Amino acid sequence: MNLQPLYDVKERLEYAAVAGVSLLGEDFRLQRAAEGLKPLAAASPVFGKIDAGLTKLLDAPAERRPGLLLDVLALVDAVAYTQAKTGAEGELEPLPTGDGRYHQISYGQMTPLLTALTSTGGGRVEAVKSAWERHPRFFEDYRVLPALVKALGDSYGEMAELCARLLQKLGPSVVPALKRGFDPSGKKEMARRVEAIAAIEGKDAVPWLREVLPAAKKDVRVAVIRALGVDSGDTALLLDLAKAERGKNRDAVLEALTKQDGDEVAAFWEKELAQNGGAITFLGNTRADWASDLVARRLWDRMEQLLAQGGPMSRAGLAELRQWFSSVRGKSSPSMLDFWRWMDGKLADVDRLRGENGQALGFGAETTALLLDSLCQAGPGPLCGLCLELWGRHRDQPRYLPHAVVASLLTRPAAEVYDAFSPYVPTVRPLLGGAQKQALHNAVLTGLSEARWNNTAGRHEVGAGWPTAQPLDARWVKRLACAVWKTTMHDFKMPSPFGYGEHLEEYDIILTRLLDPSEPEVRADLIPYLRRRMAEAGSYQTYSRWLLALGGSPRGVLKDSMLKSGRPAYLYYIWGLLNDAAKALSAEEAVDLCREALNANYIRKEDAPLAQRAIPWTVEQLRAGRPFPDWSDWWNMR
Amino acid sequence: MELTELLILREAPSPAAAENGRKLSGRGSFSARRKAEDGSLYWAECAGSGKNPYRVSIDFTNQDAPVCRCSCPSRQFPCKHALGLMFEMLAEKEFETADIPQDVADKRARQAARAAKKEAAGEDGRPAKPKKPNAAARKKKLAKQLEGLDMAERMVDDLLTSGLGTLAGSSAQTFNKLAKDLGSCYLTGPQTAFTRIALTVRAVQKDPAQADAAYAEALRLLVALRSTIKKGRAFLGEKLEAGDYSAEDSALFEALGGVWKLEDLRAAGLVRERARLVQLSFDVSFDEAKKEYIERGWWLDLDAGDLWQTLNLRPLKALNYVKGDDSRFDLLEVPALYLYPGEGDRRVRWDGATARPLFPAEQAALPALAQPDLASAVKLAKGKIKNTLAPKFLAVLAPIGRLGKLGEEFVLEDPKGDRILLRDRPEDGPGHACTHRLGMLPRAISPGSALFGLMFYDGRDRTLCLHPYSVVTPKRVVRLQY
């Protein structure tokens, strides 16, 4: 049955309702539609009813029309519903299976996460982080995963970067989701997808990268080219791209080419550096021998020319030379070692180099510091041998002593390192040659400043996270605690690692960084030292936290240190300190610290009345076995 | 009862309250943690902003309905302190065993006495009866409602005489004012319908491209309103004449703005004993006209095979004080299931229920509760939606023969080869769009599964479609929403 007349009537009735039934008498289209329904009315009683309703409507006085119109419309609607089509013709295409997994996640759990991933506004990063900490599996759910991928394009960069990291942590299972709907001509979201895929799959991503490269544009193209660098099989392609690409894309090609190897690559860079000296910045990140040889050879030529000229260096020339030197970090090919030996022989000439105003550049010291930096980047290897060799040539000078300390920590037994270098840190004031000995002491401290205890990894590390050959000899702590000089090469105070506006001796920062707090011997030696220093220095926030971390307590020295600090305390900072102390110490000790803080009577004038109320109340709370109060509890006592 | 994060979230009045409780636990605000020897009571002190800590306890005497008590003044229930204590338990922090505090023991005794009294009343065979209505007041109310219906009819007539398109500016304000007057005639149903019409027409003014759909929706509402007025007048007139002022098994009662109480539903015989329910889907929407959140759960009755819906209404003004609902993944054993009048996917409520995991055999039996075929489901849906007072959709569980795509459209084919288009119901908005997730399911759908969704009429191409919400397989219910 052709139902079009019914739908025509419905449409005209709806139109009449929108336009107003007062105009119904003039609506010839409705009358025509009603005429069209007549054949159907003759065929079926239900249409007959509609037809009768329409006739009644059109004949009715104006005041009855609204009700009659709705009655007819109700009937028309009911017939339209019962006559609704179902079904669909054609060959069904099977549904694809998607990505991720299905987890039973409630509305209350999923909504905050989806809202954070898909909306805008503050607090979203925190919401995603805390969801990840509590339920990492939620992120692989098939309803959440697409939102996570989409969030790679979030306008808030920190959010997008967080999502990229989370996707990488989820691993290979998310790669299909990252590839689904990938648009090679897209924006930042697509570029981040490429980076995530490359980070997850490594070399396995290369066929896909090659596939998308031809259509990739802008940021995506940069990311694809950069990612191609992981595979040594891409050299030919990258060399071709180096000829064709421009701007950011070419920079990406150069970056990718630094990860390649072989004669062709070396020849390319030889030519590239000859034409474009600025490209040296790209070689800074590679440790390959070809790059190391190339940089050493070029730098050697430059230095020879420079020393031969002998004249003052222009500002631009000096900047370019520094750029070249910065690319030697971590490089240790035989040519590079020879270059450093040659530099050692020429240090006197290098030290004489002057700037365009005639001032001394101190370039010798600068390059020596660079060698130490390079050693810290390279870790155990040929540079260690070189540094020990250079130190051997100048054993009585501080110049290579830091290098020797670092090289020894990386390669030699801990006791041997201690025996070799601890004599440079005297514990009794020398009668003669004090300045020379203090310079050597400072040089050893510079070497030790490159070492630190990594609590997560449970080991001592040097430079860029290289483990020391053996755990640091525990005798160092006692030695450093008793050292005559508490100085380093820097003669200024450093900002506290905890902030609070405190500045303190770098020596103590180096010392505390070296410590493995789980060693009872270390704690026993250091706690009295830090308590003493706390009273001397007045940086009570920093020293208190060091003491608490070591299982010690600032009880008994807090008051003196506060007074020594020379700056009345903010009550909020005092609350923070006491709160931290209450977590680590017994209630009795925490109570004593509260009293000391109050007795010091060295809290800002504005905060003093509140301190007089809040601290005694806190003492009562602690005595009653209750937890240390929140800051809001103190603040509300104003 | 195993305490899980899900359970805490369910107990919480809102996700924010749960988060605040979690923070209290995380920052060590609880002290003096104690528990009863039999594990039926946990209590602790929680540091608050006052001088004295709050005393908070959770009583698990009834494992399915733990009782939270706290000395804080919060109107939220449970408060963040009680939720925090639950997180303390979840984190397996140490609770010392101690004697139950006297005040809690007293409260328990009073509670037990009340329960015994209630049980004794039940044993007498006299279930709680609805309160006897005040006949004079009811009569007055019915008369007022009839008066209101006359006013509503005049409003409909005026609106249609001048045309829906004129509902703007000052005429819209007058219209809204008149609609508010219906509230004082105890006709909150028609009042809401008028507000909805005004909102729909306002949407046209904001986005003229949506005019056709919006006017069609406004007309659907007007048709339903006209029907309510006509049937309501007859219904109320009969009641007034007969002097019968009690609630009745009729959808009209609610359409006019009546609110059902459980005892009224019981008195009307709208109750089923010992039902076993499994939730198939859960969603939340915001009703702009009533300014309230609607938390809707769709449930499958394992014994009768019926589909029910629960609606938890949370007015915006009382959001913090009305407990939120959440997805449920376990099976609920409901001693008394109260049914609202209506047909098809009726609204249900219950007073108390016991949760337990769904047994594999029960899960495997779920798809078999689907309609025998699409044709049966379509017949039921058409039967419901042509009723002017009924919502224009029907929840159905349809058997899956195949799921696939025809171009951009998703299609369900039943085992007999009949097909239906799968689409998102436009009226539900983008927050409910989930059909596309059928193409993202991590696994192929196993044979013998069923598809749960809402069957609706799509006026754009005059087709009956299904908005899918869950795939019910013999092993699990895979939700496309929540």
Of A371, A409, A416, A365, the residue nearest A390 (C-alpha): A371
Give, in order, the Cα–Cα distances in Å from B42 to each of B6, B46, B64, B98, B308.
Answer: 19, 13, 15, 10, 36
The pLDDT tens digits of the residues spanning A334-387 come to: 999 999 999 999 988 998 888 888 888 888 999 999 999 999 999 999 999 999
Amino acid (one-letter) located at A166? L
Amino acid (one-letter) located at A589? E
Q: What is the pLDDT of residue B113?
A: 85
Q: B402 to chain A: which residues are within 8 Å by CB? A: 92, 94
Token digits of residue A62: 């104006």
**Residue A18 and residue B164: Cβ atoms within 8 Å?**
yes
A186 phi and psi, to 5 degrees?
Answer: -80, -170
pLDDT at B184 exceeding the cut of 60 = yes
Token digits of residue A141: 């759910």
Band of the pLDDT at B286, cuts 50, 70, 90?
very high
Of A69, A89, A88, the residue nearest A10 (C-alpha): A69
Give, in order, the Cα–Cα distances in Å from A490 to each of A430, A437, A439, A482, A487.
Answer: 21, 16, 11, 20, 8
Burial of A156 (0-12, 13-18, 19+ CB in 10 A): middle
End-to-end CA distance of chain B: 24
ipTM of this predicted structure: 0.86
B78 phi and psi, to 5 degrees?
Answer: -65, 155
A227: which residues sit within 8 A by CB, 6+ positions away? A194, A195, A197, A198, A205, A209, A256
Is any Cβ of chain B less than 8 angstroms from the Cβ of A69?
yes
The residue among B159 and B307 whose pLDDT is bigger is B307
Q: What is the pLDDT of residue A421?
A: 96
B310 phi and psi, to 5 degrees?
Answer: -110, 140
**Residue A86 and residue B31: Cβ atoms within 8 Å?**
no
| Radius of gyration from C-alpha coordinates of chain A | 38
Of B193, B184, B261, the residue nearest B229 (C-alpha): B193
A240: which residues sit within 8 A by CB, 6+ positions away? none
Q: What is the pLDDT of residue B261?
A: 87
Of A599, A507, A525, the residue nearest A558 (C-alpha): A599
User: A633: nearest CA in chain B?
Assistant: B49
Distance CA B45, CA B257 (A): 45
Is any Cβ of chain B less than 8 angstroms from the Cβ of A76?
no
Angle of helix A571-584 versus helix A587-600 axis, rounded to 10: 160
Interface test with B, best of A95, A137, A139 (most B CBs within 10 A): A95
Distance CA B213, CA B219 (A): 10
Is any Cβ of chain B less than 8 angstroms from the Cβ of A456?
no
Q: 3-state class of A452 per DSSP? A: strand
What proportion of chain A, given as a percentage, has pLDDT over 90? 64
The residue-averaged pLDDT of A287-314 equals 90
The residue-averaged pLDDT of B400-419 equals 93
Q: Which helix (H) or strand (E) holds B472?
A: strand B463-472
The pLDDT tens digits of the residues spanning A75-103 come to: 999 999 998 999 888 999 998 888 888 99
Band of the pLDDT at A590, cuts 50, 70, 90?
very high
Please check whether residue B223 is in contact with residue B216, taking contact to mean a CB–CB distance below 8 angstroms.
Answer: no
Token digits of residue B444: 């192929």
Q: What is the DSSP letter of A70?
A: H
Is any Cβ of chain B less than 8 angstroms from the Cβ of A61?
no
Band of the pLDDT at B86, cuts 50, 70, 90?
very high
Q: What is the DSSP letter of B206?
A: H
Band of the pLDDT at A147, cuts 50, 70, 90?
very high
Distance CA A581, CA A598 (A): 15
Distance CA B278, CA B302 (A): 7
What proportion of chain A, given as a percentage, has pLDDT over 70? 100
A38: which residues sit within 8 A by CB, 6+ positions away? A51
Q: What is the DSSP letter of B53?
A: P
Token digits of residue A278: 């600025």
Q: 3-state class of B42 per DSSP? A: strand
pLDDT at B17 exceeding the cut of 70 = yes
Of A279, A286, A223, the residue nearest A252 (C-alpha): A223
SS3 content of chain A, % helix, strand, coil (to 5): 70, 5, 30
Q: What is the pLDDT of residue A226?
A: 93
- Specify the residue for token string 């309510």: B228
Burial of A563 (0-12, 13-18, 19+ CB in 10 A): middle
SS3 content of chain B, % helix, strand, coil (to 5): 40, 25, 35
Token digits of residue A358: 């005639």
The residue-averaged pLDDT of A504-522 equals 90
Write down the mean pLDDT value for chain A: 91
pLDDT at B349 exceeding the cut of 70 = yes
A263: which residues sit within 8 A by CB, 6+ positions away? none
Distance CA A221, CA A209 (A): 10
Whether a cis peptide bond, with omega within 30° of 0, leads into A554 is: no
Residue A291 CA neighbour count, 13 Å, CB half: 23
Is any Cβ of chain A less than 8 angstroms from the Cβ of B476?
yes
- Ranking B207-211, B274-278, B365-369, B468-472 by mean pLDDT, the lowest is B207-211
The residue-averaged pLDDT of A565-584 equals 93
Please check whether residue B387 is in contact with residue B468, taking contact to mean a CB–CB distance below 8 angstroms.
Answer: no
Scanning B32-100, the segments in alpha helix (DSSP H) are 80-90
What proportion of chain B, given as a percentage, has pLDDT over 70? 95
pLDDT at A395 exceeding the cut of 80 = yes
Q: What is the pLDDT of residue B427?
A: 87
User: A180: nearest CA in chain B?
Assistant: B440
Interface test with A, best of B156, B223, B363 (most A CBs within 10 A): B223
Token digits of residue A53: 């309703």
Distance CA B44, CA B98 (A): 11
Amino acid (one-letter) located at A74? A
Q: What is the DSSP string of A459-489?
A: EEEETTTEEPSSPPPTHHHHHHHH-S----S
Q: What is the DSSP letter of B347?
A: B
User: A618: nearest CA in chain B?
Assistant: B51
* Angstroms from A130 CA to nearest CA on chain B: 11
Q: 3-state class of A606 per DSSP? A: coil
Strand bridging mode B463-472 / B477-479: antiparallel
Is any Cβ of chain B less than 8 angstroms from the Cβ of A73?
yes
Burial of A277 (0-12, 13-18, 19+ CB in 10 A): middle
C-alpha triplet A94, A95, A96: angle, nearest 5°: 115
Q: Which helix (H) or strand (E) holds B383?
A: helix B374-385
The residue among B457 and A96 whose pLDDT is bigger is B457
* Number of CB atoms found within 10 A of residue A93's CB: 11
Q: What is the pLDDT of residue A103?
A: 93
Distance CA A393, CA A341 (A): 11
Burial of A332 (0-12, 13-18, 19+ CB in 10 A): buried
- Ranking A325-329, B187-191, B254-258, B472-476 by mean pLDDT, the lowest is B254-258
Burial of B436 (0-12, 13-18, 19+ CB in 10 A): middle
Amino acid (one-letter) located at A117? L
**Residue B219 and residue A67: Cβ atoms within 8 Å?**
no
Of A511, A249, A629, the residue nearest B49 (C-alpha): A629
Highest mean pLDDT out of A232-236, B127-131, B476-480: B476-480
Q: What is the pLDDT of residue A543?
A: 96
A433: which residues sit within 8 A by CB, 6+ positions away? none
pLDDT at B428 exceeding the cut of 80 = yes
- Classify the C-alpha dihedral B57-B63-B66-B67 as positive or negative: negative
- Ranking A330-344, B29-43, B279-293 by mean pLDDT, the lowest is B29-43
* Angstroms from B257 CA to nearest CA on chain A: 22
Amino acid (one-letter) located at B304? A
* Angstroms from A629 CA to nearest CA on chain B: 7
Band of the pLDDT at B125, cuts 50, 70, 90?
very low
User: A10: nearest CA in chain B?
Assistant: B216
Interface test with A, best of B386, B396, B418, B436 (most A CBs within 10 A): B386
Nearest to A106 among B6, B165, B480 (CB): B6
